[in-house]
Amino acid sequence: MTQDRQAMLYGLGAVALWSTVATAFKVALAWMSPLELMWLASLVSWVLMGALVVRQGLVNEALRRGWRTAAWAGLMNPVAYYLVLFAAYDRLPGQEAMALNYTWALTMAFLAVPLLGHRLTRIDVLAGMVAYAGVWVIATRGAVLDVDFADVWGVVFALVSTLLWALYWLLNTRDARSPLVAQWQNFSVGMPVLTLLLWMGPGFEWHGWSAVGAGVYVGLFEMGVAFVLWQLAVHKISRTAKVSNLIFLSPPVSLFLLYWVVGEPILLSTLLGLGLILAGLGLQQRQKVPEPL
């Protein structure tokens, strides 16, 4: 098997797992609060990442350096990003939160202008206009001339999550830590913070084994295994665009699972809005030579 084929299989595995997380979020949040889910999922992911750090002989690297970066990175991811994301999923139908979250790549392109000195192209601007038109369709549930959103805070949380995720990756462009070590250190910083928030707030209640299973699934696959598979895919592929395009397979599968497992009726406004968001992302990815404004 060629290295590119291995990379594509890893990428498909990651996308397959990510396709299930919108459903897993909604199932878990039916029992637990966003903070409870965040704490349990982070604990599972932290243990998994720690085991992988030990297995790959990265313990010395993980303990000796990188903690200055982890001090702020861990507060962004997992703490701030996932708390806001789970709050969005708690308020919105899974299909809407999932679709809105897909605009993070466009958010990153726009934030790269002031943070990294990048220049926007005409295609970037056009892609943004198309994708955020899709956001408007989803936020208004098709009533595009009506500014009375069904859940304004849910939409705000979903869009803020894209801002935090894009900002996190842009600030990490100069991060010298290996990805696995960085992830474990970030969760090592985040776990005490989440534990304190949980202790000061609602506490952790027992909601049954089904709730625990859903939380473990989120931590194991959304924050853990999928991350490792995606990192393997990106590092092994000869050209990043080959594997990055796989992410477009995830939304249709996510919508089907939300309908089949959660029982969410798929809204026409979600389909139209998601189509516009994916069209915008496709435009952004397909541009060849930058065409500066």
Instruction: State the sign of the Cα–Cα–Cα–Cα dihedral 236, 238, 239, 242.
Output: negative
- Do the beta carbons of residue 20 and residue 255 sit within 8 Å? no
Top-confidence range, 142-156, 183-197, 246-260:
183-197
Q: Is residue 260 part of a domain?
A: yes
Q: What is the pLDDT of residues 33-73, one digit of tens each?
A: 999 999 999 999 999 999 999 999 999 999 999 999 999 99
**Pairs from 161-165 (Cβ < 8 Å, separation ≥ 24):** 161/81, 161/84, 161/85, 161/88, 161/101, 161/104, 162/100, 162/101, 162/103, 162/104, 162/107, 163/107, 163/111, 164/76, 164/77, 164/80, 164/81, 164/84, 165/77, 165/81, 165/101, 165/104, 165/107, 165/108
Q: Is residue 248 part of a domain?
A: yes
What is the structure's pLDDT at 173? 74
Q: What are phi and psi of 121, to 5 degrees?
A: -100, 170
Q: What is the pLDDT of residues 266-277, one digit of tens each?
A: 989 899 999 999
| Displacement of CA 116 from its chain's centroid (Å) | 22
Q: How confident is the model at residue 142 (pLDDT cuts 50, 70, 90)?
A: confident
Instruction: Give the CB-side neighbour count of residue 196, counting CA atoms within 13 A.
Output: 7
What is the structure's pLDDT at 241? 59
Q: Is residue 292 part of a domain?
A: no
pLDDT, mean over the chain: 86
Reported pTM: 0.86
| Displacement of CA 286 from its chain's centroid (Å) | 22
Contacts for 19 with CB less than 8 Å, ≥ 6 apart: 249, 250, 253, 254, 257
Q: Count the neighbouring beta carbons within 10 Å of the beta carbon of residue 23.
A: 24
Mean pLDDT of 147-163: 86
3-state SS of 83-134?
A: HHHHHHHHHCCHHHHHHHHCCHHHHHHHHHHHHHCCCCEHHHHHHHHHHHHH
Q: What are phi and psi of 274, to 5 degrees?
A: -65, -40
Mean pLDDT of 86-111: 89
Residue 217 pLDDT greater than 90, yes or no: yes
Helix-helix angle 209-217:3-29, to 10 degrees: 150
Any bridge partners for residue 292, and if so which? Answer: 121
The string of DSSP codes covering 196-252 is HHHHHTT------HHHHHHHHHIIIIIIIIHHHHHHHHHHH-SSHHHHHGGGGGHHH
Question: Of 204, 273, 267, 235, whose CA–CA distance to 33 is shortest?
Answer: 204
Q: Is residue 252 part of a domain?
A: yes
Domain boundaries, position 180 = 3-286
Question: Of 28, 76, 31, whose CA–CA distance to 187 is shortest?
Answer: 76
Mean pLDDT of 167-179: 83
What is the structure's pLDDT at 289? 46
Q: Which of 153-157, 176-180, 287-291 has the lowest mean pLDDT?
A: 287-291
Overall size of the chain counted in residues: 293
Q: Is residue 159 part of a domain?
A: yes
- % of the chain surpassing 90 pLDDT: 44
Q: Is residue 8 part of a domain?
A: yes
Q: Give me the number of domains the chain comprises.
A: 1
Question: Of 224, 220, 282, 221, whose CA–CA distance to 249 is shortest?
Answer: 282
Residue 242 pLDDT greater than 70, yes or no: no
Q: Is residue 130 part of a domain?
A: yes
- % of the chain surpassing 70 pLDDT: 93
Q: Is residue 24 part of a domain?
A: yes
What is the structure's pLDDT at 239? 63
- Do the beta carbons of residue 234 and residue 178 sit within 8 Å? no
Residue 244 pLDDT greater than 80, yes or no: no
Residue 199 pLDDT greater than 60, yes or no: yes
What is the structure's pLDDT at 45? 94
